[in-house]
Amino acid sequence: MVARGGHSVAGSSFDRRHTRGRELAALRIRRLERGAAFKYALLLPAVLWVVAFTFFPLISVIHYSFANYVLGEGITGYVGFANYADVLTSEQFWHSIWVTVIYVAVAVPIELVLGFLAAWLVNLGAPGSRAFRTIIGSPLFTLEVAIGYLGVTFFSVQGGLIAVPLGALGIDIPWMSTAWGGIAASILLDVWRWTSFIFIIVLAGLAGISSDLYDAAVLDAKSHWQVMWSLAIPLSWPVITIAVLLRTVECLKVFAIPFALTTGGPGTSTQPFSAMDYLTTIQFFDFGKGSAMGIVFLIMVSAVITLFFKQMRKSLA
Amino acid sequence: MANRYDDDKFADLVRDFVRGRVNRREFIVRGAQLGLSAAVLARMTRPSRAAANLIDSDPVSPFESPITPERVAFLKTKPYKGTTINVMVCKLTVGDCVKYHVPHWEEATGGKVNVAEIPIETLHTQIFSDLSSGLGKYDAYMPGCWFYGDFFVPDNPYIVPLESFLADPKHSYWDPSQWIPSQGKLYHWNGKLYGALLDGDCQALYYRKDIFDNKEHQDKFKAKYNYDFPAPPKTMKEYHDVADFFTGWDWNGDGENDWGISLHAKVNEQGFFHFLTLSGPYVVSPDNEYYFFNPETMKPLINSEGHLRALEDYVKFLANGPREQIAWTLGQGWNLFLAGHSATEPTWGDLPTLAQDPKTSKVQGKMGAAPVPGTTEAFNPITGQWKKYDLNQVGNTNGGTWHLVLSRLSKKQEATYDFMSFMANKKNAVWNAATGWTGVQPGMKFEYFPPLGDGSVAQWKKLGWNEDDVVEYLSAYYKVLSNPVSQEYLRIPGTAEYWHELDVNVSAVLGGQMQPKAALDATAAAWEKITDRYGREKQKALYKASFA
């Protein structure tokens, strides 16, 4: 140890006291570390976060789901399972679930295939890859609601950028005036928005595969397609699975694009679950029915995600 | 008047007065010569400012007229310097109208106004989240009139009455006695004034006068339907025939096929107002004023035989317009008419006002306007009987009648009311009603021509109107607003939800996903649940109060 002025003070009483102090402090920390309190103290922020933002809202939603709620008056009484019965016998509810399922079942696979192919081509170093990488990412930074409103200008027969040229070619698609047209238009916009998400994740996965493996595979394989099927897909499967899981969870919450594009119509034919729950709970302040709706959907989604995880574990085993 | 001849002469005289060809004195003298009371004529044409101690204008606030001396003195102190108020408006043209007046008020008072524009589909949520959470971030809101009931659910209502502010001459002058009664009612609740004048909605039938007056078209029509061309149609049957006649051929000679009707029927975008308006005469009549509920039981009337026939007839109009109109917003629906491709449109007064802008309209000077066609048979859902009438035409106040209301939570109520009253002042009110893009329609007598008000064609022409268009427009608009048989306006708590259910079910019928009967039954079932949630007895009491 070097004191001020460069004189050694090793062996001085100050140094001994100082060393002893540090040892005691270290001992206390070790004791604390061994003690439960310290562990709990470290966990506390995370626990508080979960209690405040997950546990409390969930309990609150369960509580509301048994109540009759009126704007301006609050809870006016408790109705048992009446809100659940109302939800489970509602045609509109089941239709909104059906719309959501179609949305996920069509949009996610398309995004997966397109995102993977784009990532594969970029990973191969296809010409223009660098520019493509930038361009494909841009929709991801655009607000979904803006994309939905933009869609009106694409699919309207009054000067729509997509509808009018198609109409001129004799392909007259009733994008906005039919259920299937509205869902198809929403899915197209969703694919445009979210393919880049899959692309980015899969590209990272493909980039993680050793170039030695690629070189060996290219020597053995007859084509790039064979390399893709027999090497790239199996080795990036864990990453693909995560991408699909994240995208599926996100897609189950689909709201802004279809709502901005068709406002759920005609009727409620293009209304996904989130839009119905939003209208019930937020627009009309029916917290009781809206909460029951949310709980039913949560149970359904949890079941699907659990199955998904089981399947994922099997495929990775 | 003694006879039909005098009646016509008086009509000519009124027309001359309206168009500025005779002055007020001459109008009274010539009217008296026709046997009318000079005193009554003088009263009918009296300028509204005669009622108060008012001066025409003052440089201290060039955008107000008339103005009180007290206000002139008040404004000289720049009374709201350092005060900022927050106002939530609907992201529609009416919201733009409020924004237009902000710099003028700021200049006059020294205050500052922050305007937040909220899309119509989330406006209700935003207003009542701010109020029910107690945040009170906004001092005033712009609700559609169908939100009114929700303000009165708590024992202490969310909005405050305006009478005490109105009585204070330091604020901008406006006169609620000038309201056409059907309009003024929408700004009141239980006899108290809660809203400051801005908009005055109703739906009328607008049509292409030039096309309707075309002799060749009239002859073709007669050959096809075996009766004289009804210009304008007075019954729904005539309207269907006219819409059908003008569908699918090039009647304007531009090389494209045209349409008989244009609708803006997108769900969640006020599309259901078309159905409300067009179904009115099937249910409302001199013998029945109830359209929505039985006031004694709060049982829905919406699935009555009358409503069902109305919906079945309404769906027939789909074939007379572009298929996509079921997904059109207001602007898209209006565009078809303004571009000259639709012969008719039952809608708000925005259409004739927008028609005056030659940049976006091909129909200036070609506008015809009339009350919405009626029926010759109406169903009374209270008694369950159909009854025949010569002609059952029904008035309405359908629409938002958008205006500002003052929050109970506001800490700047004086300044906020001052801003609200500034826009209600006659000079601004007339400008709002006569200017196309504001989305504001005339609900005050002074905006009309004598003998009702003291407006003049010259005044409207100065703001870009075609002379014939404005006479047609105001004449029809007043007929709709003043019809003694008028469709009720639902304002009870939960109206947004009741209407949403009707909206989605009618839209489902238009989209071919439901049959009319099933749609109306589903609506009635949903309404029952909403009524039960809010409490049947409370709803019943508020339903009756909303008629008060």
| DSSP 8-state secondary structure symbol assigned to residue B118 | E
Residues A55 and A92 in one domain: no
Predicted confidence band at B505 (pLDDT cuts at 50, 70, 90)? Answer: very high
User: Distance (Å, rounded) from C-alpha B277 to C-alpha B372?
Assistant: 8
Residues A124 and A265 in one domain: yes
Residue B83 has pLDDT above 70, yes or no: yes
* Contacting residues of A for B321, CB less than 8 Å apart: none
Residues A200 and A168 in one domain: yes
Residues A109 and A205 in one domain: yes
Residues A309 and A264 in one domain: yes
- For residue A6, what pLDDT is reported? 42
Q: Would the CB atoms of B511 and A267 count as touching at under 8 Å? A: yes
Q: Would the CB atoms of A267 and B514 count as touching at under 8 Å? A: yes
Q: Would the CB atoms of A283 and B500 count as touching at under 8 Å? A: yes
Q: Would the CB atoms of A282 and B125 count as touching at under 8 Å? A: yes
Q: A97 in a domain, yes or no?
A: yes
Predicted confidence band at A11 (pLDDT cuts at 50, 70, 90)? Answer: low
B144 at interface of A, judged by CB pairs closer than 8 A:
no
User: Distance (Å, rounded) from C-alpha B311 to C-alpha B236?
Assistant: 12
| DSSP 8-state secondary structure symbol assigned to residue B143 | -
Q: Would the CB atoms of A285 and B533 count as touching at under 8 Å? A: no
B504 at interface of A, judged by CB pairs closer than 8 A:
yes
The nearest alpha carbon in chain A to B325 belongs to A177
* Contacting residues of B for A265, CB less than 8 Å apart: 266-268, 326-327, 504, 507, 511
Q: A71 in a domain, yes or no?
A: no
- For residue A8, what pLDDT is reported? 47
Residue B52 has pLDDT above 60, yes or no: no
Report the percent of chain B where pLDDT is more than 70: 93
Question: What dihedral do alpha carbons A124, A126, A128, A130 form, nearest 10°?
Answer: 0
Residues A238 and A280 in one domain: yes
Q: Would the CB atoms of B497 and A284 count as touching at under 8 Å? A: yes
Interface of B with A in 521-540 (CB under 8 A): 529, 533-535
Residues A273 and A208 in one domain: yes
β-pairing verdict for B188-189 and B140-141:
unpaired
Structure confidence by residue, pLDDT tens digits, A91-112 = 999 999 999 999 999 999 999 9
B384's tokens? 């369950």
Q: A99 in a domain, yes or no?
A: yes
Residue B249 has pLDDT above 60, yes or no: yes
Total structural domains in chain A? Answer: 2
CATH code for the domain of A93: 1.10.3720.10
B128 at interface of A, judged by CB pairs closer than 8 A:
yes
Residues A136 and A260 in one domain: yes
Predicted confidence band at B47 (pLDDT cuts at 50, 70, 90)? Answer: very low
- For residue B31, what pLDDT is reported? 77
How far is residue A287 from each of residues A18, A192, A273, measured CA to CA in Å? 63, 34, 15
- For residue A3, what pLDDT is reported? 42
For testing contact with chain A, the best of B513, B520, B532 (most A CBs within 10 A): B513
Q: Which residues make Cβ contacts (< 8 Å) with residue B152, sequence separation at least 6?
A: B158, B189, B493, B542
- For residue A4, what pLDDT is reported? 43
The CA angle B308-B311-B312, to the nearest 5 degrees, is 85
Mean pLDDT, chain A, as a whole number?
89
Q: A77 in a domain, yes or no?
A: no
Q: Which of B129, B267, B533 sits opposite A264 (nearest CB)?
A: B267
Q: A75 in a domain, yes or no?
A: no
- For residue A308, what pLDDT is reported? 86
Report the percent of chain A where pLDDT is more than 70: 94
Averaged over B109-133, what is the pLDDT? 94
- For residue A20, what pLDDT is reported? 79
For testing contact with chain B, the best of A173, A284, A291 (most B CBs within 10 A): A284
- For residue B19, what pLDDT is reported? 57
B124 at interface of A, judged by CB pairs closer than 8 A:
yes
B127 at interface of A, judged by CB pairs closer than 8 A:
no
Residue B61 has pLDDT above 70, yes or no: yes
- For residue B8, what pLDDT is reported? 67
Residue B27 has pLDDT above 90, yes or no: no
Backbone phi, psi, residue B259, to 5°:
-125, 160
Structure confidence by residue, pLDDT tens digits, B221-248 = 999 999 999 999 999 999 999 999 999 9
Q: Would the CB atoms of B504 and A265 count as touching at under 8 Å? A: yes
Q: A274 in a domain, yes or no?
A: yes
- For residue B5, what pLDDT is reported? 57
Residues A192 and A306 in one domain: yes
B50-54 contacts, C-beta under 8 A, 24 or more apart: B51/B175, B51/B177, B52/B173, B52/B175, B53/B169, B54/B173
Q: Are A93 and A87 a contacting pair, CB within 8 Å? A: yes
Q: Would the CB atoms of B269 and A72 count as touching at under 8 Å? A: no
- For residue B46, what pLDDT is reported? 53
Residues A60 and A96 in one domain: no
B257 at interface of A, judged by CB pairs closer than 8 A:
no
Which of B411, B226, B246 is CA-nearest to residue B337?
B246
- For residue B221, what pLDDT is reported? 98
Return the amino acid letter for B180: I
Q: Which residues pair with B486 in a beta bridge?
A: B395
Neighbours of B253 (CB within 10 A): 8
| DSSP 8-state secondary structure symbol assigned to residue A281 | I
- For residue B362, what pLDDT is reported? 97
Structure confidence by residue, pLDDT tens digits, B386-440 = 999 999 999 999 999 999 999 999 999 999 999 999 999 999 999 999 887 899 9
Q: A133 in a domain, yes or no?
A: yes
Structure confidence by residue, pLDDT tens digits, A110-131 = 999 999 999 999 998 888 888 8
User: For the purposes of burial, counting CB atoms within 10 Å of the CB of A31, is it exposed (0-12), middle (13-18) or buried (19 or more)?
Assistant: exposed
Predicted confidence band at B2 (pLDDT cuts at 50, 70, 90)? Answer: very low
* Contacting residues of B for A284, CB less than 8 Å apart: 494, 496-497, 500
User: Distance (Å, rounded) from C-alpha B287 to C-alpha B384?
Assistant: 12
Residues A41 and A93 in one domain: no
Q: Would the CB atoms of A177 and B533 count as touching at under 8 Å? A: no
- Structural domain boundaries enclosing A232: 85-316
Averaged over A11-32, what is the pLDDT? 74
| DSSP 8-state secondary structure symbol assigned to residue A270 | T
Residues A297 and A170 in one domain: yes
Q: Would the CB atoms of B500 and A268 count as touching at under 8 Å? A: no
Averaged over B195-220, what is the pLDDT? 97
Predicted confidence band at B50 (pLDDT cuts at 50, 70, 90)? Answer: very low
B494 at interface of A, judged by CB pairs closer than 8 A:
yes
* Contacting residues of B for A96, CB less than 8 Å apart: none
Q: Which residues make Cβ contacts (< 8 Å) with residue B118, sequence separation at least 6?
A: B88, B89, B90, B91, B126
Q: Would the CB atoms of A267 and B513 count as touching at under 8 Å? A: yes
Mean pLDDT, chain B, as a whole number?
92
Averaged over B72-88, what is the pLDDT? 97
* Contacting residues of B for A177, CB less than 8 Å apart: 323-327, 511
Pick from A124-133, A214-223, B317-326 the range whose average pLDDT is largest.
B317-326
B21 at interface of A, judged by CB pairs closer than 8 A:
no
Report the percent of chain B where pLDDT is more than 90: 83
Structure confidence by residue, pLDDT tens digits, A31-70 = 766 677 778 888 999 999 999 999 999 999 999 999 999 9
Q: Would the CB atoms of A265 and B124 count as touching at under 8 Å? A: no
Sign of the CA dihedral A278, B142, B497, B136?
positive
Residue B71 has pLDDT above 90, yes or no: yes
Residue B527 has pLDDT above 60, yes or no: yes
Phi-psi region of B83 (alpha: psi -120 to 50; beta: other; left: phi over 0): beta
Q: Which of A158, A177, A265 sits opposite B323 (nearest CB)?
A: A177
B272's tokens? 């259901």
Q: Please list the alpha-helical segments (H only) found in chain A.
A: 13-34, 36-50, 56-65, 82-88, 91-124, 129-137, 144-155, 163-168, 179-207, 211-220, 224-227, 233-235, 237-252, 256-262, 273-278, 287-316
Q: Would the CB atoms of B269 and A76 count as touching at under 8 Å? A: no
Contact residues of A toward B, CB < 8 A:
68, 70-73, 76, 86, 92, 156-158, 174, 176-179, 182, 259, 262-269, 279, 282-286, 288
B259 at interface of A, judged by CB pairs closer than 8 A:
no
ipTM exceeding 0.90, yes/no: no
| CA Rg value for chain B | 24
A198's tokens? 């899959």
Q: Would the CB atoms of A265 and B266 count as touching at under 8 Å? A: yes
Q: A79 in a domain, yes or no?
A: no
Q: Would the CB atoms of B493 and A267 count as touching at under 8 Å? A: no
Which helix (H) or strand (E) segment is B244 a member of? helix B236-245
